[in-house]
């Protein structure tokens, strides 16, 4: 899965988050990296104990909660509280894979399996050069650079990195989700089926036999594949 989710944040939410980040203190991004990725990570991050971290993360979580495309594609069970990073000139994140298990709170007691990764862009492409999110796929390296307020969603199993910044500053929120459906192939099939049902319901009444049949199949597959 490599899904572009448009307009996750409203213009007002984007302004609020950017103002909050502009006033925040930034620390070394290695603080939340694993042993291998810490060697590859060269960026700044809002510390987990900074007041802005929780407040701005709540804005992102509320936006996710109302986003139908994200919920259809990811089928979230638990979301790691969103983090915020910054890449200034010369900063980068070399190729790496995210940890399979992440703590969900500052104590580290509660943990999630990272099935899906998301990067929510907070600066427009015109504000910086470089800084593409690089997805290392079988067909080659795919660069991703989205408008502010848009988000890219991808399977956490994929190797990825961030290209060096040569001008400006790139800000983003990033986080991981444990899906109700562990298997990536099953999630993609459910997403395709859900989108087909949504399209069909635009053209047919909800009590149409074809609509009801597909809805039944969708929910029965959810019963079979979901883990709660």
160 labeled binding residue: yes
Give the bridge partners for 129, in sequence order: 167
At 208, list the tokens: 């149409």
98 labeled binding residue: yes
3-state SS, residue 198: helix
Instruction: Residue count of the chain, please give it.
Output: 228
Give the bridge partners for 84, in sequence order: 173
Distance CA 173, CA 80 (A): 12
Phi, psi dihedral angles at 182 (to 5 degrees): -65, -40
Binding site feature residues for 2-oxoglutarate: 170
Binding site, residues?
Answer: 96, 98, 160, 170
Binding residues for Fe cation: 96, 98, 160
């Amino acid at each position: 899965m490599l899904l572009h989710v448009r307009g996750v944040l409203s213009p007002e939410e984007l302004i609020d988050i950017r103002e909050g980040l502009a006033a925040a203190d930034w620390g070394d991004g290695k603080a939340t990296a694993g042993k291998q990725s810490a060697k590859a990570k060269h960026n700044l991050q809002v510390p987990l104990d900074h007041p802005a971290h929780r407040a701005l993360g709540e804005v992102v979580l509320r936006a996710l909660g109302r986003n139908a495309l994200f919920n259809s594609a990811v089928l979230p069970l638990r979301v790691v509280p969103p983090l915020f990073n910054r890449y200034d000139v010369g900063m980068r994140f070399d190729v790496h894979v995210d940890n399979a298990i992440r703590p969900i709170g500052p104590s580290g007691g509660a943990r999630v399996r990272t099935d899906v990764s998301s990067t929510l862009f907070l600066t427009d492409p015109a504000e910086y050069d470089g800084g593409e999110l690089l997805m290392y796929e079988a067909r080659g390296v795919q660069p991703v650079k989205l408008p502010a307020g848009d988000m890219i969603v991808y399977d956490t199993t994929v190797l990825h990195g961030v290209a060096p910044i040569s001008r400006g500053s790139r800000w983003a929120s990033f986080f991981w989700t444990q899906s109700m459906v562990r298997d990536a192939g099953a999630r993609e099939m459910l997403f395709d089926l859900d989108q087909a049902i949504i399209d069909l319901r635009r053209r047919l009444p909800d009590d149409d036999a074809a609509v009801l049949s597909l809805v039944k199949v969708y929910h029965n597959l959810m019963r079979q594949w979901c883990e709660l």
